[in-house]
Homo-oligomer: A and B are copies of this chain.
Amino acid sequence: MDRLRIVQIGSGNVATHLSKALKDAGHHIVQVVGRSLENAQALGTQLGTAFTNSLAQLDSEADLYIISVADGDIPNVASLLPKLSGVVVHTSGSTPMETLKNTSDRCGVFYPLQTFSKLRDISLKGVPFCIEATDRDVVKTLSKVAQSIGGVPVEMDSQQRRWLHLMGVMSCNFVNHLFRISQEVGQSQGIGFSILKPLVEETISKAFDNGPEKSQTGPAVRGDLDTMGRHLEMLVDFDGRWKEIYGLLSKSIMKAGGMSPDKLDI
């Protein structure tokens, strides 16, 4: 594998996990650029490399620039970069490649479909890296970089990636929020969240083995209005949105199962 000289722009969750994995894979992170000097220093020190909070001090000789900043800040960072000869990519699911067009003749997207949190080491093994680039050579380079850290390169244009990001929000972010609601409901009754683990693990295995359309169980798909009604009553003492969430998801399940959702009175 070619070892690349890489500049990491951004010092948050994605930047931290990605640049550590790249370093471990033998690439040379030549510089970390962060908006806050403190965060850039923290990551630069971890990686044993240079850091700065000024794009004016950017190392212009790198092979690859990886922009991992908040989605809304990507256009601004792109507008502040000089024209570079290296490859410039961002790691965002919902930002078009187009946003980077003035930064380099060779730009692209390098979007890891994974959820990153500080204080949690995660393996990138098997993680899909959605890749898009201005030309085939850059696609090849980015694919090799993904493979070098255990990822699975998947070619995808900006349009498809936007949809994949929406799928990820629903299947990861929304799922975690349902867990949080379950946890709080359980806490109110002295029931720990961890008791749900075998159930949740089987839910996931089943959905990926058999497909979610064949895996639906529970009161809504059975049309069990009594149980749903009791659950709705139990939720009245919590945030009003939780009851709405229960009602709306139940109705959506009923509809998907061929029932009339109007039977559920909420």
User: Which A residues contact B (CB, under 8 angstroms)?
Assistant: 13, 70-72, 94, 113-117, 119-120, 122, 126-128, 154, 156, 159-160, 162-183, 185-186, 188-191, 193-204, 206-222, 224, 226-227, 230-231, 234-235, 239, 241-242, 244-246, 248-249, 251-253, 255-256, 261
Q: In the assembly, what is the distance between CA of A214 and CA of B128, in Å?
A: 24
Q: In the assembly, what is the distance between CA of A182 and CA of B246, in Å?
A: 18
The residue in chain B whose Cβ has the minimal distance to the Cβ of A169 is B218
Minimum C-beta distance from A114 to chain B (A): 6
Q: In the assembly, what is the distance between CA of A258 and CA of B79, in Å?
A: 32
Q: 11 A-B contacts, Cβ less than 8 Å apart?
A: A115-B203, A128-B198, A165-B231, A167-B185, A170-B246, A173-B217, A173-B220, A175-B175, A176-B207, A177-B220, A181-B252
Instruction: Report B-chain residues with C-beta under 8 Å of the C-beta of A186.
Output: 163-164, 167
Instruction: Report B-chain residues with C-beta under 8 Å of the C-beta of A156.
Output: 191
B242 near A245 with CB under 8 A, answer: no
Instruction: Report B-chain residues with C-beta under 8 Å of the C-beta of A171.
Output: 178-179, 182, 196, 199-200, 203
| Identical chains bound together, number | 2
Instruction: Report B-chain residues with C-beta under 8 Å of the C-beta of A169.
Output: 218-220, 231, 246
Of the listed residues A154, A167, A231, the one surrounded by the most CB atoms of chain B closer than 10 A to its CB is: A167
Partner of A224, one of B71, B188, B193, B207: B71
A168 near B212 with CB under 8 A, answer: no
Minimum C-beta distance from A201 to chain B (A): 7
Q: Across chains A and B, which 10 residue pairs bring their CB atoms closest together, nearest first?
A: A173-B218, A179-B212, A180-B212, A167-B182, A163-B189, A172-B203, A241-B252, A171-B182, A174-B249, A170-B182
A114 near B215 with CB under 8 A, answer: no
Instruction: Report B-chain residues with C-beta under 8 Å of the C-beta of A126.
Output: 198
Of the listed residues A126, A177, A195, A255, the one surrounded by the most CB atoms of chain B closer than 10 A to its CB is: A177
The residue in chain B whose Cβ has the minimal distance to the Cβ of A241 is B252
Task: Given A216-B176, A248-B248, A252-B177, check contact A201 B204 (CB 8 Å).
Answer: yes
Task: Given A115-B206, A177-B249, A178-B175, check contact A167 B194 (CB 8 Å).
Answer: no
Partner of A115, one of B176, B180, B217, B241: B217
Instruction: Report B-chain residues with C-beta under 8 Å of the C-beta of A211.
Output: 183, 193
A191 near B227 with CB under 8 A, answer: no
A176 near B212 with CB under 8 A, answer: yes
Q: In the assembly, what is the distance between CA of A255 and CA of B184, in Å?
A: 14
Minimum C-beta distance from A131 to chain B (A): 13
